Amino acid sequence: GGLPVQILKKKLAITSFNKHAAPFSLTFETELDSTYKIEASHDLQKWGEIGEVQGTGSSVKFIERRKALFPKQYYRLKLVE
C-alpha cells in the first residue's frame, strides 16, 4: 500500500461582481483553508495586491474601498497555494 492522498478542488469561481456603481465588489466561492489575493491594475501590466481573503468553504464578498485613481481599473483574483 501507499500513503493516502488528499485531492483538493482548488478552483476559482466568481459568482457576481458590481461594475456599475462604486464601490466595486466581487463575490466568489472559496475553499476552506485556501488563501485568495485580489489584485488591481490600471494597464494590465503592473499589478498590486489590494486584498487577501481566507477561504471559508462558502461564498465571500470583497468590496474595493479605495478611491479610484485611474479612469479604468482592472481586477484579478488569484488562488495562493
Q: Could you tell me which CATH class the domain 13-80 is placed in? A: mainly beta
pTM over 0.85: no
Nearest to 10 by CA among 55, 44, 53: 55
- Give me the pLDDT at residue 67, please: 78
* Residue with more model confidence, 34 or 12: 34
- Give me the pLDDT at residue 13, please: 73
CB 26, CB 13: distance < 8 Å: no
Q: Write out pLDDT tens, residues 34-71.
A: 999 999 999 999 999 999 999 999 999 998 887 777 78
Q: What average pLDDT does range 15-22 have in this prediction? A: 74
- Give me the pLDDT at residue 24, please: 82
Question: 10 Å Cβ neighbour count for 34?
Answer: 19
Residue spans per domain, the chain: 13-80
Question: 10 Å Cβ neighbour count for 46?
Answer: 9
